[in-house]
């Protein structure tokens, strides 16, 4: 029985990560995070069937936390029940994507404004550092690093806003779309917008940050449509 790391790293990841159950977090949430990460990284594709028994064996846990984790993921929109098939990874429609981005725009624009007002200088420097490293990864053609850094950038903004409700609301919305953006092999515009947003937050300019965040969400929406519906489906 193979026991995967808490963070759901793909083969070749950090072998020093603790096993499931080692952290002070409910086991169902650890399992949820791992399955969600697999979906985000494309290891579990839309339409894939998720079998409790199989997942429990792979993760080295009982079926109970797996069942609870799948229920959490249903609430977040990552998986769904389908008659005669069971639980599968959700396939998002055009309407789903547009609905998601409408909410995302409202939250991310506000997060950018608040980050300008509330982030510490160390936090701002951390954000700028992420944007700089993404540019370096682009120059070297390291798409895996770009994807990880893009996720880190988006995860950081709500933390800099210092609003826990906003951060917990954004988390499943961001996660549902990370896997799509990972398939983008022309990330120049997103990397440029991240640098612009980091600069606006560093300048403590809330209106400029809000404008960049709004444009960035629209760029991401366009990329999602291009990646997911390239065949006109």
Task: Report the C-alpha gap between 45 and 179 in whole angstroms.
Answer: 9
Name the residue range of residue 121's domain: 94-228
Q: Give yes or no: residues 56 and 8 share one domain.
A: yes
Phi-psi region of 89 (alpha: psi -120 to 50; beta: other; left: phi over 0): beta
Q: Give yes or no: residues 173 and 220 share one domain.
A: yes
Starting at the edge strand found earlier in the chain, the sheet holding 79-82 runs 49-50, 86-89, 79-82
pLDDT at position 39, please? 87
In a domain? residue 48: yes
Q: Compute how many other C-beta atoms are within 10 angstroms of the C-beta atom of residue 229.
A: 13
In a domain? residue 189: yes
Residues of the chain with confidence (pLDDT) below 50: 1-18
Q: Give yes or no: residues 208 and 106 share one domain.
A: yes
Which residues have CB under 8 Å from 83's CB, separation 6+? none
Task: Report the C-alpha gap between 213 and 99 in whole angstroms.
Answer: 17
Q: DSSP states of 120-134 as a string? A: -HHHHHHHHHHHHHH
Residues 35 and 7: beta-carbon distance below 8 Å:
no
Out of 56, 91, 126, pick the residue that ends a domain: 91
Q: Give yes or no: residues 211 and 106 share one domain.
A: yes
Q: Give yes or no: residues 98 and 86 share one domain.
A: no
In sequence order, what are the beta bridge partners of 81? 87
Q: Compute how many other C-beta atoms are within 10 angstroms of the C-beta atom of residue 22.
A: 11
pLDDT at position 97, please? 85
Number of domains in the chain: 2
DSSP state of 44: S
Q: Give the chain's largest Cα–Cα span.
A: 55
Q: What are phi and psi of 49, to 5 degrees?
A: -85, 135
In the block, residue with structure tokens 């937050």: 201
Out of 36, 69, 91, pick the residue that ends a domain: 91
pLDDT at position 6, please? 29
Q: What is the CATH number of the domain that holds 87?
A: 1.10.10.10
Out of 91, 107, 139, pick the residue that ends a domain: 91
Task: Report the C-alpha gap between 150 and 157 in whole angstroms.
Answer: 11
Task: Report the C-alpha gap between 157 and 24 in whole angstroms.
Answer: 25
SS3 state of residue 13: coil
* Prediction pTM value: 0.74
Write out pLDDT tens, residues 110-144: 999 999 999 999 999 999 999 999 999 999 999 88
Residues 206 and 112: beta-carbon distance below 8 Å:
yes
In a domain? residue 152: yes
């Amino acid at each position: 029985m193979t026991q995967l790391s808490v963070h759901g790293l793909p083969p070749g990841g950090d072998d020093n990560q603790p096993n499931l159950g080692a952290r002070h977090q409910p086991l169902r949430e650890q399992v949820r995070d791992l399955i969600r990460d697999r979906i985000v990284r494309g290891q579990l594709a839309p339409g894939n069937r998720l079998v409790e028994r199989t997942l429990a064996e792979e993760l080295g846990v009982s079926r109970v936390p797996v069942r609870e984790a799948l229920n959490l993921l249903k609430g977040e929109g990552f998986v769904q029940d389908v008659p005669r098939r069971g639980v599968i990874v959700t396939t998002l429609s055009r309407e789903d994507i547009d609905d998601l981005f409408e909410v995302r725009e409202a939250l991310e624009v506000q997060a950018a404004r608040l980050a300008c007002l509330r982030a510490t200088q160390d936090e701002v420097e951390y954000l700028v550092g992420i944007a700089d490293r993404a540019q370096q990864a682009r120059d070297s053609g390291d798409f895996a690093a770009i994807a990880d850094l893009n996720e880190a950038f988006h995860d950081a903004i709500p933390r800099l806003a210092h609003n826990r409700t906003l951060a917990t609301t954004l988390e499943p919305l961001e996660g549902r779309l990370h896997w799509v953006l990972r398939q983008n092999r022309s990330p120049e515009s997103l990397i440029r917008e991240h640098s612009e947003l980091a600069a606006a937050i560093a300048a403590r300019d809330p209106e400029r940050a809000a404008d960049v965040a709004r444009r960035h969400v629209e760029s991401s929406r366009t990329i999602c449509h291009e990646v997911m519906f390239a065949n006109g489906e």
